[in-house]
Chain A
Amino acid sequence: SQQGEEDPQALSIQEGENATMNCSYKTSINNLQWYRQNSGRGLVHLILIRSNEREKHSGRLRVTLDTSKKSSSLLITASRAADTASYFCATDHSGGSNYKLTFGKGTLLTVNP
């Protein structure tokens, strides 16, 4: 079964607005990652947050992690049309291999010019 569930399934915003996507997971993790997938392409790693971290920034990306609620959020600020893509969270389980990632179903983000 899949570990992560993203919310919402789809999000449509205007260029310049912020986009927030959420991810919930079921069991304890070592790390949580976010990936982006452009239509018809492979996944590209965006950012990783460790289980002992609460917030991380990378450029226009901000990720938070709440291990007590087993949830994470990805915020993209000042969105651009080029941010249009599907976004997936991926977790690796505590006690398991950090190579074995479990992915959520993704959020489809559309940024309208």
Chain B
Amino acid sequence: NAGVTQTPKFQVLKTGQSMTLQCAQDMNHEYMSWYRQDPGMGLRLIHYSVGAGITDQGEVPNGYNVSRSTTEDFPLRLLSAAPSQTSVYFCAIGTSGYNEQFFGPGTRLTVL
């Protein structure tokens, strides 16, 4: 039981490149979300999903796309990376009736 896995752990992109950050869970939780964490800051919600086929925007959605075709996976896509997207990205999962969220280990992204 791995919980929440994120790949890759580290990534360096050039401005304008695209990439997908992967998040997978084996806990069958319906809720999945993506946060970014910048130095000295807390986490800010990018996008979230309350189930397969359902996604919605969080606080800072611009520049990011998501989709949720299965319960297990919730990829985050950067279509045209910008230096402002340099950050650490965390995926989290949760389930109804239980407010605790479980976080993945994070992906550290640098955009040059």
Stretch binding the partner chain, chosen from A13-21, A53-61, A71-79, A99-107: A99-107
B4: min CB distance to chain A, Å: 8
Q: Does B42 contact A (CB under 8 A)?
A: yes
**Residues in chain B near residue A48, CB distance under 8 A:** 99-100
The dominant DSSP class at the B interface is: strand
Cα separation A98 to B94 with both chains bound (whole Å)? 10
Q: How would residues 18 to 35 of chain A score, 1 for a CB under 8 Å from any chain B CB and 0 otherwise?
A: 000000000000010101
Chain B residue with Cβ nearest A46: B100
A2 located at the interface, meaning its Cβ lies under 8 Å from any Cβ of chain B in the complex: yes
A93 CB, min distance to chain B CBs, angstroms: 12
Residue in A42, A45, A98, A104 whose beta carbon sits within 8 Å of that of B90 in the complex:
A42
Instruction: Give B29-54 interface residues, CB cut-off 8 Å to A.
Output: 31, 33, 35, 40-45, 48, 50
Interface size on B, residues (CB 8 A): 25
Q: Is B103 interfacial (CB 8 A cutoff)? A: yes
B44 CB to nearest chain A CB (Å): 7
Provide the residues of chain B in CB contact with A98, threshold 8 Å. 99
Residues of B near A104 (CB, < 8 A) are 42
In the bound complex, what is the Cα–Cα distance between A103 and B104 (angstroms)? Answer: 16
5 closest pairs, A vs B, by CB?
A: A103-B42, A42-B103, A45-B100, A103-B43, A43-B103
